[in-house]
């Protein structure tokens, strides 16, 4: 049994924000894999379903970002899970938009949602870091995460969701390598060859043989060439 947590802030005001990219990820998994309806529980909303053979609960804490750990802790204790059974999807400033990485344990790097989860369940949980890009100035970070995803990044984000959703079965099975492969195939698909041989057409007429070269030598030159 696994608990997938998508971080964000509740309400339509924040729905498209970069900070809500975790919400977007679990919502896409729920939609693509036929999870049950979202229900209010654990100071948030939760949806239940299966990914492969694994029973999975999707949780969107609705306590606001800096209190996310309250919701996660309640759900984890209710389902009698350990912190390694929890996988948190969150926005990551240090990755470019559309990029994704998996991290096992570690620090919170100043992320308020992760900081709160650390306090309630310990740091020993997995994270799916979803890139939003850094504004380049630490003083601009707060404004950056609370703005909507740029239109220029929407197409890349859609491919990221497809990869995350497609690889979610592997994530639930603790196979992060296969999960990352599924994401990479969507975000960076292999390039097809640009030189393809022309197909042969059955019954096509054969190209004529090239015309023989014309001998322009006179009789005397031809006779002289025989004795060289």
Which are the catalytic amino acids?
Answer: 19
Asked whether the beta carbons of 40 and 58 are under 8 A apart, the reply is no
Question: Residue 130 and residue 89: Cα distance in Å, rounded?
Answer: 7
Rg (CA), the chain: 30
In 93-178, beta strands by DSSP E: 100-104, 126-131
User: How many other CB atoms are there within 10 angstroms of residue 85's CB atom?
Assistant: 16
Question: Residue 28 and residue 30: Cα distance in Å, rounded?
Answer: 5
Q: What residues does 47 pair with on adjacent strands? A: 58
Q: Which two tokens stand for residue 103?
A: 């991290």
Question: Residue 165 and residue 167: Cα distance in Å, rounded?
Answer: 5
Asked whether the beta carbons of 117 and 74 are under 8 A apart, the reply is no
User: How many other CB atoms are there within 10 angstroms of residue 38's CB atom?
Assistant: 17
């Amino acid at each position: 049994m696994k608990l997938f947590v998508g971080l964000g802030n509740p309400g339509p005001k924040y729905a498209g924000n970069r900070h809500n990219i975790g919400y977007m990820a679990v919502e896409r998994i729920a939609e693509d894999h036929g999870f049950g309806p979202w229900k209010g529980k654990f100071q948030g909303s939760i949806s239940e379903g299966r990914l492969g053979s694994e029973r999975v609960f999707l949780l969107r804490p609705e306590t606001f970002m800096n209190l996310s750990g309250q919701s996660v802790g309640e759900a984890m204790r209710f389902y009698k899970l350990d912190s390694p059974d929890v996988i948190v999807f969150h926005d990551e400033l240090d990755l470019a938009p559309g990029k994704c990485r998996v991290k096992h344990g570690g620090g919170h790097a100043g992320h308020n949602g992760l900081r709160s989860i650390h306090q309630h369940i310990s740091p020993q949980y997995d994270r799916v870091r979803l890139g939003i890009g850094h504004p380049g100035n630490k003083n601009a970070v707060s404004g950056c995460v609370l703005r909507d995803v740029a239109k220029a990044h929407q197409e890349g984000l859609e491919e990221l969701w497809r990869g995350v959703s497609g690889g979610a079965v592997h994530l639930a099975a603790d196979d992060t390598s296969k999960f990352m492969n599924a994401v990479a195939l969507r975000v960076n698909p292999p390039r097809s060859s640009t030189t393809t041989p022309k197909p042969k057409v059955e019954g096509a007429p054969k190209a004529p043989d090239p015309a023989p070269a014309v001998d322009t030598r006179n009789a005397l030159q031809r006779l002289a060439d025989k004795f060289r």
